[in-house]
Amino acid sequence: MMRDILRRLQGAALAGILILPWVMVATPAKLVASDAVLTLDEAFAMALERNPDINVARGEARIAHNNVHIGNAGLLPRVDLVGSVTYQDNEAAAVEESTTTGIQLQASYTFFDGFGTVYTFQKLRSSGRLGELKARNTIENTMVSVSESYYRLAEAEQQLSLSREALSISRERQRRAQLRSDYGQANTLDVLSATVDANSDSVAVLEARLERDNARRSLNSLLNRPVDTPCSVDATVRFDDGLTLAAVQEGAKQSYADYLLAAEEMRQADLDLAIATSDFFPSFGVQLNYGFSETDPGFMVDLDDPAEGFSAVLNMTLPLFNGFKTSIARQNAKILQHNSRLEYDKAGMDLEKLVADTWEAYQNSLTVLAFQEKNLESAELNFSRTRELSVLGQVTSTAFREAQLNLLSARQQIASARFDARLFEIRLKRIAGMLLRKAE
């Protein structure tokens, strides 16, 4: 009688021990951290302010913008202050040795050169737009990298939390197996099996912690702050239900930086051809000189009693032969123009393919996510039933471990599927030109 009572008490104790870890498994994992939670918008703002690549790209864009000036294209006159000292030794002259000292203000302006300066200014404006587009492309690429690092850290944090739960269950299972073995209700194989599983889960925790730390360092590096700065991220994912394929296709043609760069480079090739063609035309210019000069015998630099002078020169230059350099430059410009049009057409086709591939991958990831959510329901139900049978002693340790691993795998896969879908959505918004507007 006493033995039956002890056995019932032991069974109740074991049942109580079994319930605790199962409740822990049935409850969704939540990250508990003392660090402040960093949102994705905050990470974007921090990267826009601190990231070195972004700041360098902005600096290069400012340089390109500064170059857009009519003076840089040769459309403004040139003014120089010229001083000269000329020594002359002429035996036939009355004064054999003389020195002429002069100083003059010289202004020159080319008012026609086959419109080369006009085309040069247009090319400078195009280069300014290219600088802005390149900066935007760098910023968008960095924003995508920040997103990938952010959600990689979010996934790593969840995987670490799940691995810790699995280890807690395995250690509790190991303790129960040892307790049952001590009371003669389990054999040594059950204890060894539980120990092996606990060790395996311990290794999984170490690997998950390493992955979390690596992901954190990658994110901190993109945010240009010490790589060991503690931080946690918000694992909540909300999808944009208003995102449509038509909106992405329309925005891509108007906003995708790579495509716009190809279009601008094609315009530059047209301007290069126009500039090369302008070298065949004559150029007309004017030069005005106003100054003072004085000639003294011997070698003497002096302007005590200078003579005032003014001169105006109208000049024309017609290129006749320069070793075929102009012709070769024009031929090469025509080849580059043709190549730029091919690159532009290719960029258009690549963009269409990119939109189609990314949209299909996004839709597929949402389908996978829905499937994984259903799979998680099945895994939770399977584990719940396995728990009930284990309490009754009708499930082996192998079956229990399999149900535990299935549930763990389902939770890990649903987290990965959710973050993958979110990243595809971010890439679509980048293609459509929506990502940078939101980040800024």
10-residue block means of pLDDT along the chain (440 residues)?
A: 37 34 32 65 94 96 95 93 84 68 92 94 96 95 96 93 87 78 69 84 93 95 94 90 92 94 96 95 95 80 80 92 93 97 97 97 94 87 78 72 84 91 96 75
Distance, in Å, from the CA atom of 421 to the CA atom of 429, rounded to the nearest integer, reads: 13
Pairing of β 283-297 and β 307-317: antiparallel
What is the model's pLDDT at position 257?
Answer: 93
Distance, in Å, from the CA atom of 343 to the CA atom of 348, rounded to the nearest integer, reads: 9
Helix crossing, 116-182 with 257-278: angle to 10°?
160
Residue 49 has, within 13 A of its CA and on its CB side, a CA count of 7
Distance, in Å, from the CA atom of 15 to the CA atom of 333, rounded to the nearest integer, reads: 84
* Amino acid at position 177, single letter: A
| Residue 213, Cβ density class (10 Å: 0-12 exposed, 13-18 middle, ≥19 buried) | middle
Return the closest-CA partner of residue 335 out of 273, 283, 260, 256. 273
Return the closest-CA partner of residue 126 out of 4, 11, 275, 288. 275
> Distance from CA of residue 340 to its chain's centroid?
25
Distance, in Å, from the CA atom of 319 to the CA atom of 280, rounded to the nearest integer, reads: 7
What is the enclosing helix (H) or strand (E) of 313? strand 307-317
The pTM score is 0.81
What is the model's pLDDT at position 405?
Answer: 83
What is the enclosing helix (H) or strand (E) of 64? helix 52-66
What is the model's pLDDT at position 21?
Answer: 34
* Amino acid at position 19, single letter: I
What is the model's pLDDT at position 268?
Answer: 96
